[in-house]
Amino acid sequence: MKIVVLDDSKTVLLTIQALLEELGVTDDEVSLFCEGHKALEYIEQHGADIIFSDINMPGMDGFEFVGRILELSHRFVSTLFIVSADEHYRDINHMKNIGAKRFIRKPIDAKHFNHFVALEIKKYKSRNKDAISLEIKPSSEAGSSEKIDWHEELALRMGIKVKHIPRLIESFTDETKNLSEQLKDAIEYKYYEQIEKYAHSLKGSSGNMQFFDLCELSSVMERAAQDTDIAFDYHGHYRLMHQEIETILQQLSQHSTH
């Protein structure tokens, strides 16, 4: 089986990979890409059975990527999943007009993901006469009488195993620090398109990690920049976001296993 996952957030990529593992997919069956043209090149050379694609990405965005994929083969319609935190129905409708049929909203709900993706994996295994039984495994082995630590609580909320959490924390920490600095610079120079881009990325990664206060703050910033709202207090709102980021990163550092 070949599964391709395309998203500009490493944290989201690792989350989807972890969720796929819960469905019996091995890491060597999954190829992760941050850039659309590299994912497309891989698919053209090696093919793919299931594809996940974000919408808003730098360079080749999801619209172009999906359009190119469906030009390669219309069979991808049933095995192409659009994964997006975008609330704009025009973008979803645009994807539908291109031919995309399946959508998974970020932050990703593990039960929703498992329900739809497991069916496609099961179909693939059945077509290839694979006798492996497909089971959705519990995300934590801790019993009800055991004390659930912070990592286990986060794993339960995300619907993945605890072993994935340290890697996701490391990815999210690095990604968030970088995006925060980029957002600060974009605000300083009033680059509204860049503000929207970085706020959107923060919204997606923080929501995926279940940090919903930061997700909402990022969403407000994204909408203001998208509308080029010059009356919006970008500096003041960034300070709120920065405080929330510092609180989250401090919490992650305290619970780090390193």
Q: For residue 193, is it within any domain? A: yes
Higher pLDDT, 115 or 5: 5
pLDDT tier for residue 130 given thresholds of 50, 70 and 90: very low
Separation between Cα atoms, residue 116 and residue 50, nearest integer Å: 12
Q: For residue 35, is it within any domain? A: yes
Whether residues 127 and 210 share a domain: the answer is no
- In a 10 Å sphere around its CB, with 0-12 CB exposed, 13-18 middle and 19+ buried, how is residue 60 labelled? middle
Whether residues 14 and 119 share a domain: the answer is yes
Whether residues 129 and 178 share a domain: the answer is no
pLDDT of residue 215: 94
Q: For residue 16, is it within any domain? A: yes
Whether residues 221 and 173 share a domain: the answer is yes
pTM of the model: 0.84
Which tens digits make up the pLDDT trace of 188-203? 999 999 999 999 999 9
> Phi and psi at residue 232, in whole multiples of 5°?
-70, 140
Q: For residue 143, is it within any domain? A: no
> Phi and psi at residue 18, in whole multiples of 5°?
-65, -40
Distance from CA of residue 155 to its chain's centroid? 16
Whether residues 10 and 119 share a domain: the answer is yes
Q: For residue 57, is it within any domain? A: yes
Among 102, 137, 172, residue at a domain's last position: 137
Whether residues 57 and 123 share a domain: the answer is yes
Number of residues in the chain: 258
List strand residue ranges (DSSP E) for the chain, in order: 3-6, 30-33, 50-53, 80-84, 102-105
Closest CA to 50 of 102, 105, 109, 86: 102
Q: For residue 213, is it within any domain? A: yes
Whether residues 113 and 207 share a domain: the answer is no
Binning the chain into helix, strand and coil, the percentages to the nearest 5 are 60, 10, 30
Whether residues 107 and 190 share a domain: the answer is no
Strand bridging mode 50-53 / 3-6: parallel
Count how many domains the chain has. 2
Distance from CA of residue 208 to its chain's centroid? 6
User: For position 237, which CATH number holds?
Assistant: 1.20.120.160
pLDDT of residue 256: 66
- In a 10 Å sphere around its CB, with 0-12 CB exposed, 13-18 middle and 19+ buried, how is residue 148 labelled? middle
Contact 99, 77 (CB under 8 A): yes
**Residue-number span of the structural domain to which 229 is assigned:** 162-254
Q: For residue 75, is it within any domain? A: yes
Whether residues 129 and 51 share a domain: the answer is yes
pLDDT tier for residue 86 given thresholds of 50, 70 and 90: low
Whether residues 116 and 174 share a domain: the answer is no
pLDDT of residue 134: 35
Q: For residue 81, is it within any domain? A: yes
pLDDT of residue 129: 54
Q: List, edge to edge, every strand of the sheet that includes 30-33.
A: 30-33, 3-6, 50-53, 80-84, 102-105
Separation between Cα atoms, residue 27 and residue 14, nearest integer Å: 10
User: For position 109, which CATH number holds?
Assistant: 3.40.50.2300
pLDDT of residue 127: 73
Q: Is 218 helix (H, G, I), strand (E, B) or coil?
A: helix
Q: How many CB atoms lie within 10 A of CB 75?
A: 10
Which tens digits make up the pLDDT trace of 132-189? 333 334 434 444 333 347 888 889 889 899 999 999 999 999 999 999 999 999 999 9
List strand residue ranges (DSSP E) for 178-232, in order: none
